[in-house]
Structure 1
């Protein structure tokens, strides 16, 4: 998975899976740009990356911001889209329609915008990697928003793989990974969920951001893989 001198943009790359991906790509020789909506997190992330790495403030929900990101970055090789907000998990009667619609803003429409404006700048052999989750095929209780968001991203992945060919477009569907996306779940409930997962998953462990980062790097270099959703879940979809 050599990425020497390849240019990689991680949109949502200042924490969790995105930052782990940026670090892993940089260790393999890539020239990395991380982008996120908050200047403080962008500056903090760049300090953890090797010299030559860049940070850009960009709101994935803002079309002009996304267009500017790629216009200013210029030609590059791989886009990883990991931008997202906290998981909206609750019973349907407790979720407002505006919150449900808002859940699509970054995870789906942000990915759609990123692909729209990235494609003109991707060099031959380039790829786009989007982010889904196992809720698309294995919805949890309270998943009336999370599951369709993930399913929409997976459908987008397949559609773009056809439309944007020969640019390769894939997605990673992550299982139980301990990141800030779980921040809105009360600490005790979050601990119980992860403890139960570690007890019952076939892998007998939950994921770390670095596990998903390795999947992203694999898809960057897998030249014969496109339109695929790569599931990294410790076996959750088997149980």
Structure 2
């Protein structure tokens, strides 16, 4: 029988890009609670400091623009060798129909969420130790879009394809992704609170779980994929059953 300790994260070094808020912070906290040494990366020092205040003292953090390849390259030179990479970086979600779409804003979002993931993997891969993994982040809207989500859905679909392609190219490093449904995070802060709560209530009432998710529930999927030594090229859907209704 396989020794369960082989799948433990204890003592492993885990880099969480976007690890200072929302799903990224929840994943950082859950990973640290499992015994890993966590490195969080964010675009601002304040967010890094706030996250490190919540994490164990051996945790570290860096500031980097994850849409800038030079900064990503320098970041990983500072970090050095590690075991697992989690990419959860993202900007505020904006729902716009095509006629109202701000192309420049859309390009910036794609640069962070899609190209940012590619650039991070490019510079991280040579530093990942044997048995390590990469876990990207995508969304259920890529499989079940609705009006006003062309950019969001397009990026999500692209990341699913990227995950499978990277699993082939980077083997034996494992590459997987978490496909997230509607979750209470800071990505809808541009929506007034009353409207946001109405949105969560409306979506939640339609889900098989009867509610939208929270960041801690999503974090469990990242833990699983880091531990799952026989899983690669997989997209784990955590969506409250949204794809079924």
TM-score, structure 1 length as denominator? 0.98
- From 73, 77, 80, the equivalent of 1:71 is 77
Residue matched to 1:29: 35
Q: Displacement, 1:30? A: 0.1
- From 197, 200, 209, the equivalent of 2:206 is 200
Residue matched to 2:137: 131
- From 174, 181, 185, the equivalent of 1:168 is 174
The runs of at least 4 consecutive aligned structure 1 residues that moved more than 2 Å come to 185-189
- From 214, 221, 228, the equivalent of 1:222 is 228
Give 5+ residue unaligned stretches, structure 1: none
- For residues 43 and 55 of structure 1, the distance between their equivalents in structure 2, rounded to whole angstroms, comes to 8
Matches within 5 A, 1:76-225: 76-225=82-231
Give 5+ residue unaligned stretches, structure 2: 1-6
- For residues 12 and 90 of structure 2, the distance between their equivalents in structure 1, rounded to whole angstroms, comes to 25
- From 38, 55, 58, the equivalent of 1:52 is 58
Corresponding residue pairs, total = 239
- For residues 99 and 75 of structure 1, the distance between their equivalents in structure 2, rounded to whole angstroms, comes to 34
- For residues 141 and 192 of structure 1, the distance between their equivalents in structure 2, rounded to whole angstroms, comes to 18
- For residues 97 and 187 of structure 2, the distance between their equivalents in structure 1, rounded to whole angstroms, comes to 18
- For residues 91 and 146 of structure 2, the distance between their equivalents in structure 1, rounded to whole angstroms, comes to 18
Query: Residues 22 and 34 of structure 1 are in contact (CA less than 8 Å); yes or no, is this contact kept in structure 2?
Result: yes
